[in-house]
Amino acid sequence: MPQKAPNSYHVVQPGEPHPQGWNVPPVNDLRSAIELLKTLPGQYIETDREVDPHAELAGVYRHVGAGGTVMRPTRIGPAMTFNSIKGFPESRVLVGLMASRERVSHLLGAPVRELGIQMAQARRNVTPPVVIENKDAPCQEVVYRASDEGFDLRKILPAPTNTEEDAGPFFCLGLVLGSDPDDRDNVDVTIHRLCVQGKDELSIFFAPGRHIDAFRQKAEAAGKPLAVSINMGLDPAIYIGAEFEAPTTPFGFDELCVAGGLRGRPVELVECLTVPQRAIAQAEIIIEGEILPDVRVEEDQHTKTGKAMPEFPGYTGDANPSLPVIKVTAITTRRNPILQTLVGPGEEHVSLAGIPTEASIHLECEQAIPGLVKNVYAHSSGGGKFLAIIQVKKRGDGDDGLTRQAALIALAVYRELKNVILVDEDVDLFDSDDVLWAMQTRYSGDMDTICVPGVAGHVLDPSQTPFYDPRVTAKGTTTKTIFDCTVPFHLKEHFIRAQFKDVDPSLWAPSLFPKKEEQV
Could you give the residue numbers annotated as active site? 311
Label the pairing between strands 10-11 and 125-126. parallel
Q: Are 479 and 452 in contact (CB under 8 A)?
A: yes
Torsion of CA 7, 12, 17, 21, to 10 degrees: 70
Report the amino acid identity of residue 256. L
The count of C-alpha atoms lying within 13 angstroms of the C-alpha of 436, restricted to the half-sphere facing its C-beta, is 4
Q: How many CB atoms lie within 10 A of CB 515?
A: 8
What CA–CA distances, in Å, run from 216 to 2, 147, 182, 282?
Answer: 21, 24, 12, 26
Confirm if 134 and 268 have CB atoms less than 8 A apart: no
Q: What is the DSSP letter of 352?
A: I
Q: Kind of pairing, strands 92-95 and 338-341?
A: parallel
The pair phi, psi for residue 227, each rounded to 5°, is: -75, 135
* DSSP letter (8 states) at residue 378: E
Structural contact between residues 139 and 270, judged by C-beta atoms closer than 8 angstroms: yes
* Per-residue buried b or exposed e for 257-288, using 16+ beta carbons within 10 Å of the residue's own CB: bbbbbbbbbbbbbbbbbbbebbbbbbbbbbbb
The beta strands (E) that lie in 25-122 are given as 44-47, 79-82, 92-95
Q: Is-contact 477 457, C-beta < 8 A?
A: yes
Helix (H, G, I), strand (E, B) or coil at 450: strand
Q: Among positive and negative, which fits the CA dihedral 345, 349, 355, 360? A: negative
31: helix, strand or coil: helix
Q: Which residue type occupies 345?
A: P
Q: Tell which residue, 86, 96, 78, 26, has the closest CA to residue 53.
A: 86
Element (H, E) at 237: helix 236-241
Amino acid making up residue 73: P
Contact (Cβ atoms closer than 8 angstroms) between residue 348 and residue 98: yes
Check if the beta carbon of residue 459 is closer than 8 Å to that of residue 207.
Answer: yes
Give the H or E element holding residue 441.
helix 432-441
Q: Which residues, 6+ apart, have CB-to-CB distance to 105 below 8 Å?
A: 111, 112, 115, 520
HSE (side-chain half, CA atoms, 13 Å) at 411: 25
Q: CA-to-CA distance for 191 and 173, rounded, in angstroms?
A: 6
Give the strand pairing for 175-180 and 278-280. unpaired
